[in-house]
Amino acid sequence: MKIAIIGSGYVGLVSGVCLADIGHQVICVDNNPEKIKTLKKGKLPIYEPGLLELMKANVKKKRLSFTGSIGDATKQSQVIFLAVPTPPKPNGDADLTYIENVSRQIAQHMDSYKLIVEKSTVPAETGKKVRRTIHLNLPKKYKSGSKIMLDFDVASNPEFLKEGSAVHDFMNPDRIVIGVESPKAEKLLKEIYKPLKTKVLVTNIASAEMIKHASNSFLAAKISFINAVAQICDRIGADVLKVAEGMGLDKRIGRQFLDAGVGYGGSCFPKDVDAFIRLSERSGYDFALLKEVRGINDNQRQWFVRLIEEKLWNIKDKTIGVLGLAFKPNTDDIRNAAAFEIIQLLIAEGAKIRAYDPKAMDNARKVLKGVTFCPNAYGVAEGCDCLLLLTEWPEFKDLDFLQIRDAMAQAVIFDGRNAFDAAHLREIGFDYHGVGRGKSL
C-alpha cells in the first residue's frame, strides 16, 4: 500500500520505517530541510536502537523515501498518517496548530480518495475538526455548495511506542487500535497492519483518541502511586522494591510501572496527563485524581533534592556528579527529563554540576548551562561530594565502583532509579541512598 507519514519525529520515523519493513511503500515527510537532508544521507536525527539498520535496509529496497513536500506525498499516497507534534500550551491544552496546517495542505493537494489517519496524540473530537478542515479547504472543483464530490475518510490510530524499544513495540504490539467512520477505512487499516499478528480493536474515532489518553494517564498514575508509597517507605523503614514486588505478584496489578524513582518525564506522559485534565474540564468533569498524579510527580524531584541537602548539609559550593541526562535509557531524548529539573534546582542552590550521558550529551549541551560535561562516568566522579544516578543506563551498573569511590571527595551515592546493588556499595564503603529504600536499610 502507498503510505505517507507526515512528521518525521520519533513516532513518524519509527512508524514509517516499520511500515516499510512489513511491505508497504512509504514516504516520510518533514518540514525541516536539514532533517530531510540527514535522512537522505542515511543518518538519523534521533537515537533509537535498531532503527538505523532498518531504515537503511528499506531505503535500499526502495520501499522508503523522504521528502519535504506534503503535496507530492499526498498525491502519491492513498493513506496519510499525521504524526506531527502536538505540544502543550501554557494551560495544558494540546496545541493542534500543526494538525490543522497539515490537514489544510492535504486538502489542497487531494485529487482522489484519501484516508487521513491521526497518529499524533490528540484530544477527543480532533477527528471531527480534521474532517471539517479538509472539507473547507478542498479545491473548488470538488465542491458544489455543501456537497463534496471527492471521497475521503478520517481515522484515528494511536501509537503505543516506548522510546528505547520503539521498533520492537511496533513490530510486537499488545494491540492495534483503529477508530473509523466507514467500512472502507476499517478495511484499509486492517490491511496495512495484517502482517502484525495481534488483536485489532475497532472503535469510533473519539473512543480511539480517548484510549491513548486514558492509557498513558493510567501508567503515569501507577508511577506516581509507587513514588508516594516510596516516601512512606523511607519514613517507616520499609523497602519499596519489596513492596512493589509483592504488589506486582498480584495479577490484577502487575509489576510494570511500579518503579519508584525521581518521577516520569519524556514527551508523552507529562503532556498527555495535562491534556487529559484539560479535556476533562472542558467536558464538565474535574479529574482531581490526575491532578494529584501530576502533583506527586512534580514534588518527587524537589523531595529528592531535599534528601541530598539533608545529607550534604549545605549544597552551595558542593560538587555533584550526575549520571544520566536522557529521560529514560536507550534514547537521546531530554524532553521533560527529571535530570534537568534536579540539576537546575541544585544549581539554584549554588552546586557545581558534572554530568555524563551515553547518548544525550549533544542535546543536553544545547540547553543546560553552567554544567561541566565529562567524557565518561569516571570523569564525573572526580572530586565529587556525591553522585546521582538519574537515568538507569545499563552501562552504569557495570562501573568499577572502587575506582569511582577513590575518585570522589565523599563516597556518597543517591540512586534516583534504585538500579544499583545497595548492599554491595555499602560493603565497599559508599554511603548509599535509594528512593523509598528505608533509611534504616
Catalytic residues: 268
Judge whether 101 and 130 are in contact, CB under 8 Å.
Answer: no
Q: Which residues of 256-283 are buried (b: 16+ CB within 10 A; e: fewer)?
A: ebbbbbbbbbbbbbbbbbbbbbbbbeee
Closest listed residue to residue 231, CA positions, set 273, 270, 274, 263: 263
Helices 288-312, 269-283: crossing angle, 10 deg rounding: 140
Judge whether 374 and 355 are in contact, CB under 8 Å.
Answer: yes
First to last CA, the chain: 58
CA distance 285 to 270: 20
**Cβ atoms within 10 Å of 133's Cβ, excluding its own:** 20
CA distance 32 to 27: 15
CA distance 354 to 435: 22
Angle at 391 between CA 263 and CA 357, to 5 degrees: 140
Cell of 175: 494491540
Residue keyed to cell 562516568: 377
